[in-house]
Amino acid sequence: MYLESDNLILKEYTKSNLIDFYKLKSEEKVWKYSTFNPIKKLEDAVASLEEHVNKYKKTHFIHHAIFLKDSLTFIGEAGILSYNQNVDRCTVGYNLLPEYWNKGYATEIVRSLLEYSFCYLKCERVEAIVMKDNGASCRVLEKCGFKLEGILRNFTKLANEYKDVCFYAKLSSDI
C-alpha cells in the first residue's frame, strides 16, 4: 500500500528504515497507551523489522512507515491493521513520534486511510480502538468523523491494571 496526502507519504517499511523503526519502537511515550512493550536494544529492532517486512509478502494490512512529503523525514507508522472482505470492514491504527504530535499529522493520515478504505477497499465500516485515557487519539478519531460506539470495560491490561478501551467506527454513509 502506498498513500500520499498533502503533507505525508505512507509506504511499506524496508530494511533501510531500521534506525527510524527503532526510534519509534523504543520511544516509551509512544507506547504509553498500548500493550506493546517498547524495544530496548537495536538488535531486537533488527529482528522485529525483518519480521515486519516479511509480512508484506502475505498481507498489506499492517503498519506502514509515514514520512513527511517534502523532506522524507520519518514521523511514525499507520495502516489498515485488519480487513474482513466478507463483511466489508477494516480497522485502522497509527503511532507517531512525540515531536510530531499536535501538528495535524495523525488526523491527516487517518483521513487518508479512511479514503482508501471507503473508495478502494469499498468498506462499509472502518473501526478503531483506543485506550479511554488517550484523549488526544480520541479527538483525532472524532475529528475524522468516527463515532464512539461504546466503552469496552477492562478490555485490556497494562502494567497489571485493567484498562477501558473506546470502540469507534465510521460508516460509508457517514461520509
CATH of the domain at 110: 3.40.630.30
Model confidence pLDDT, tens digit, residues 115-146: 999 999 999 999 999 999 999 999 999 999 99
Position 164 in a domain: no
* 159 inside domain: no
Mean pLDDT of 149-154: 98
Q: List alpha helices for the chain, DSSP H.
A: 18-26, 42-55, 105-115, 135-143
Asked whether residue 171 is assigned to any structural domain, the reply reads no
Q: How confident is the model at residue 175 (pLDDT cuts 50, 70, 90)?
A: confident
Structural domain count of the chain: 1
In a domain, 158, yes or no: no
Residue with grid cell 467506527, as numbered in its chain:
169
149 within a domain of the structure (yes/no): no
The answer to whether residue 15 sits within a structural domain is yes
With respect to residue 119, please indicate whether it lies within any of the assigned structural domains. yes
- 37-55 core/surface letters (b: 16 or more CB in 10 A; e: else): eebeeeeebeeebeebbee
Which residues partner with 95 through β-bridges? 77
Could you tell me the pTM of the whole model?
0.96
Mean predicted lDDT score pLDDT of the chain: 97
Q: Which residue from 2, 46, 4 is spatially nearest to 25, judged by alpha carbons?
A: 46
The range of the structural domain enclosing residue 100 comes to 3-124
For residue 27, is it within any domain? yes
